[in-house]
């Protein structure tokens, strides 16, 4: 396996930013810390989880926070930056608009799963139980984008299709006779 370098992480983020019309954070020190966080998470978990969120270390729980996370596009559109401010709009990159904090969009039950792996068992159990009483735990389903045909297996459809950028409303569930939950 090839060792992950900061240069590799930076190039991947730059390519993704260019593809979707975003910019990387203009503060060189802050940007470097985010890239180092991505590198560390990829080395730790085997996938580049968001550097500003606690990952569980379980890919199925963390799919929504693989960088770029599912919440990036709606965050950049609404607030000018993603939650960790790795990706920003042009006006923020150029200093024309102030970078303000972005509220967390990740659902509480998904956060509880991540915190449950890092906290004590008692704390984890309490957090997970609170999250589950607020909303019944979702089971992974097959979803497809009605615009481009992209298919994904997860609890909920993504906020934005990673292929054609269609909104979440363009996803429909594929009903199957196979039980994927076991």
Q: Quick one: three-class SS letters along the chain?
A: CCCCCHHHHHHHHHHHHHHHCCEECCCHHHHHHHHHHHHHHHHHHCCCECCCCCCCCCHHHHHHHECCCCCHHHHHHHHCECCCCCEECHHHHCCCCCCCCCCCCCCHHHHHHHHHHHCCHHHHHHHHHHHHHHCCCCCCEEEEECCCCCEEEECCCCCECCCCCCEHHHEEEECCCCCCCC
Given a cut of 70, whether residue 116 has pLDDT beyond it is no
Indicate the range of 3-12, 134-143, 166-175 predicted with least confidence: 134-143
What is the token pair recorded at 145? 């984008």
Distance of CA 10 to the CA centre of its chain: 17
Per-residue pLDDT, 128: 55
Given a cut of 90, whether residue 154 has pLDDT beyond it is no
Long-range contacts of 166-170 (CB under 8 A, 24+ apart): 170/145, 170/146
Per-residue pLDDT, 15: 95
Picking from 107, 64, 100, 106, the residue whose alpha carbon sits closest to that of residue 81 is 100
Given a cut of 90, whether residue 114 has pLDDT beyond it is no
Q: Which band of pLDDT confidence, cut at 50, 70 and 90, is reported for residue 164?
A: confident
Given a cut of 80, whether residue 131 has pLDDT beyond it is no
Average pLDDT, the chain: 85
Average pLDDT over residues 107-123: 67
Per-residue pLDDT, 181: 54
Per-residue pLDDT, 31: 96
Given a cut of 80, whether residue 139 has pLDDT beyond it is no
Stated pTM of the model: 0.68
Average pLDDT over residues 37-54: 93
Q: Which residue has the higher pLDDT, 155 or 89?
A: 89
Name beta bridge partners: 174.
142
């Amino acid at each position: 396996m090839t060792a992950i370098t900061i240069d590799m992480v930076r190039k991947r983020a730059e390519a993704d930013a260019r593809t979707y019309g975003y910019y990387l954070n203009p503060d060189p020190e802050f940007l470097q810390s985010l890239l180092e966080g991505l590198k560390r998470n990829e080395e730790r978990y085997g996938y580049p989880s968001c550097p500003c969120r606690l990952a569980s270390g379980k890919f199925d729980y963390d799919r929504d926070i693989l960088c770029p996370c599912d919440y990036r596009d709606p965050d950049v559109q609404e607030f000018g930056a993603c939650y960790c401010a790795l990706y920003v709009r042009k006006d923020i990159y150029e200093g024309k608009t102030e970078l303000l904090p972005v509220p967390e969009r990740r659902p509480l039950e998904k956060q509880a799963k991540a915190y449950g792996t890092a906290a004590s068992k008692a704390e984890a159990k309490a957090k997970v139980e609170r999250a589950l009483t607020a909303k019944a735990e979702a089971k992974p389903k097959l979803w497809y984008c009605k615009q481009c045909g992209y298919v994904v297996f997860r609890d909920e459809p993504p906020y934005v299709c990673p292929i054609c950028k269609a909104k979440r409303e363009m996803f429909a569930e594929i009903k199957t006779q196979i039980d994927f939950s076991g």
